[in-house]
Amino acid sequence: MHHIQLKQFSLASIQQHKQTIIHLLQSPSTTTQQLKQIHAQLLQVPSSFSSLFLCNSLLFAYAASSTPTHAFSFFATQMGHLHPNNFTFQFLLKASSKSKSVIETAQIHSMTLKLGFGSYTFLQNAILHSHVVCGRLADARQLFYEMSHKDVVSFNSMIHGYCNSGEMGAASRLFLQTPDPNVISWTAMVVGYSSIGDVAAARQLFDRMPDRDLVSWNAMISSYVQNRHPIEALDLFCQMQAENFTPNPVTVSSVLSACANVGALDTGKWIHVFLNKNHFRLDPFLGTALIDMYAKCGVVELALEVFGRLQERNSCTWNAMINGLATNGHAKQALDLFSKMQVDRSVRPDEVTFVGVLLACSHGGFLDEGKKHFYCTMRDYGVNPLVEHYACMVDLLGRYGLLKEAEQVIRNMTIVPDVVVWRALLGGCRLHKDVELAERVVSEMEACDSGDYVLLSNLYASIGRWDDVEKVRKIMKDQGIQKIPGCSSIVVENTIHEFISGDKSHPRYAVINEKLEELGRKMAAVGYLAETGVVFYDIDEEEKEQALGHHSEKLAIGFGLISTAAATTIRIVKNLRVCNDCHTVTKLISKLCNREIVVRDRVRFHHFKDGECSCKDYW
């Protein structure tokens, strides 16, 4: 900001430096404190406020600032002796929209009508928009139908309001009535359908758009990501590039999220190179997206490299790195980074931070440190325990066999436990074969999915209680609960290949099966025996071994071995938890084939190398 001694100004000097002052008022880099200084010093020459243009400029600056409500107080105290014009109300409405000020919006609406601005469509549109962003849909609807002239902007605001409230039927009817709908109209509908999970309808509208801009592409890509269709998001991103649209930070963030979801490391790396080549500023927003992508692709060293190079970090950045380290088995590093965050003091740990901290304690087996953070550190920072914190603590205690203490944590919860917490205890029951507690847990869970019943069934199977296995199967059948099939994906040459347990439809299945049989013989030679106790049903041992051999991650690993060069790291993403047998097999394969294999399951990462796993068989 220019340093002008405004307090020494006379009326003449005000006029002399008027353009400089206006430049300062219109500059986006001018801070609220600087605006207040300009305001205060101009007040020392009251006649300067005879310029409505100067007043409107200060009003605009306040409206565009981080504290837009100052615009209202300035208008109320300083502009009473002037006659406001349409720009005055335009800037006030900008402030009311930005601050979501319901009362001020209503007052401005009333003033525009009293002063004869009711026929100004652009002002009526601004009021309509303010009602919508303030969540006053009924007021917006009433104004919309009272407006003597409506243009496409009016319709777009109302469509946006309906979409925001989930009233897609009303939004669709209004969309069909819109005169010459533009790209904004279509994009609002895409976002609306996405928000209620109707991705098909969103894509249908997107494909019908006569013209698309970057915002509409971003909306559709984001729709896929938010509704868990990452492969479709990446496909659409490729199409967007083919049509010569240049990604912006919003695009990049969505695509990085899609890469993270499916483990598309090469595409994520390409995005990183793109950012560097095009001189994108690596702010906390993009930095966090990159860190999250690398961490969820299992490449912690690159996540740490990005984290180390960031000039500015916020709590999201720290949280992404701490959680990334924890889920990848680097528990000690995650806790060390948390200590650095506490020393840094530029950001304050929050609820998400402590999910990562407790996750690190659970995955690393740090019982005492976990208790300290759960019972003391969180309280020191004023963080109230969430379900996720309880689940981590129950999981930690359960892994140590402290099942009674874990159950007591649940009984003492200040919030209602959900299935995530109960499943953490159920996992402890599986590890320590506590059938009685597992039965009680499943009976107390308000909602069980197939995974919970399968876990209980496998627990029965592991101790030979086949009658109880059959009872569980009957319960699932009677309640219409289908066993969720295991699904694993692997990216090879920028193509995502998905494998479902037991499925033989992949074009290279015969070669994959041949490779797995070859490995089976090699593993048997070093003493491997299939852990058939984890098979869900009572069949003979040979059939059990065959069933285990067709688990989805084994098929994906087999494909990776025959499709990539020697020494290439194989990266797998699985929708379910890795079973004991697959875990043992993957360790052996990593040693026999001299390959690093990274598997991300529903719970955590497993980095297999030289016959060992980063989880140290503790997952």
pLDDT digits (tens, 9 = 90+) for 176-193: 999 989 999 999 999 999
Tell me which H or E stretch contains 4.
Answer: none
Least confident interval from 123-137, 394-408, 416-430, 525-539: 525-539
CB-based contacts of 36, cutoff 8 Å, min separation 6:
70
Strand partners, 606: 599
**Whole-prediction pTM value?**
0.81
% of the chain with per-residue pLDDT over 90:
63
CB-based contacts of 443, cutoff 8 Å, min separation 6:
none
- Amino acid residing at 429: C
Q: What is the pLDDT of residue 488?
A: 94
Distances (CA, A) of 53 to 1, 22, 40, 59, 281: 21, 9, 17, 10, 36
Q: What is the pLDDT of residue 74?
A: 83
What is the signed CA dihedral for 166, 168, 174, 176, rounded to 10 degrees?
150
% of the chain with per-residue pLDDT over 70:
88
Least confident interval from 21-30, 102-111, 133-142, 423-432: 21-30
pLDDT digits (tens, 9 = 90+) for 320-376: 999 999 999 999 999 999 999 999 888 999 999 999 999 999 989 899 999 999 999
29: helix, strand or coil: coil
